[in-house]
Amino acid sequence: MTQLPQVRAAPWYSGQMGVIGSDVQRGLRWSPTAIVLYVDENHPNATAVADGTDPENPLNSIQVAVNRLISFQTAMAPVSLVGSVIVVGAGATIAESVIIPPTAPLGCTILGMGANVHSPTWTAATAAGTALTVRREYWTIEGFEFRTGTAGTAIGLELTAGGYNALGTTIRNCFFWGQWNGLYGINFVGAPHRVTIEHCEFMEYRRANGTAYAIVVSDAALVNPYECHVNYNVFWENENHVGPTTPDRSFNMSTFIGNVFHRGVLIPSTLQLDLRGGSRGQNIVTQNVFYGDYSNAGGYWAHAANSDMWAGNFTDDWAEPEVGPDGITIKPPV
pLDDT digits (tens, 9 = 90+) for 123-149: 999 999 999 999 999 999 999 999 999
pLDDT digits (tens, 9 = 90+) for 155-197: 999 999 889 999 999 999 999 999 999 999 999 999 899 999 9
Q: How many CA atoms lie within 13 A of 32 on its CB side?
A: 1
pLDDT digits (tens, 9 = 90+) for 209-262: 999 999 999 988 877 899 999 999 999 999 999 999 988 889 999 999 999 999
Q: How far is CA 271 from the centre of its chain?
A: 20
Report phi then psi at 64, rounded to 5: -60, -40
pLDDT digits (tens, 9 = 90+) for 267-324: 999 999 999 987 888 999 999 999 999 999 999 999 988 789 999 999 999 999 999 9
| 27 vs 44, residue with greater confidence | 44
Secondary-structure breakdown of the chain: helix, strand, coil percentages, each rounded to the nearest 5: 5, 35, 60
Place 18 in a pLDDT band, splitting at 50, 70 and 90.
very low
Q: Is 180 exposed, middle or buried (0-12, 13-18, 19+ CB in 10 A)?
A: middle
Residues making up the chain, counted from first to last? 334
Mean pLDDT of 39-59: 91
Could you give the CA distance from residue 292 to residue 181 in angstroms, rounded to a whole number?
24
Top CATH class of 13-264 equals: mainly beta
Report phi then psi at 314, rounded to 5: -115, 130
CA angle 135, 136, 139 (to 5 degrees): 115
pLDDT digits (tens, 9 = 90+) for 58-85: 999 999 999 999 999 998 888 789 999 9
In this predicted structure, what is the pLDDT of residue 25? 43
Show me where the domains of the chain are located: 13-264
Identify which of 243, 135, 229 has the alpha carbon closest to the alpha carbon of residue 185: 243
Q: DSSP for 164-186?
A: -B-TT-EEES-EEEEEEEE-EEE
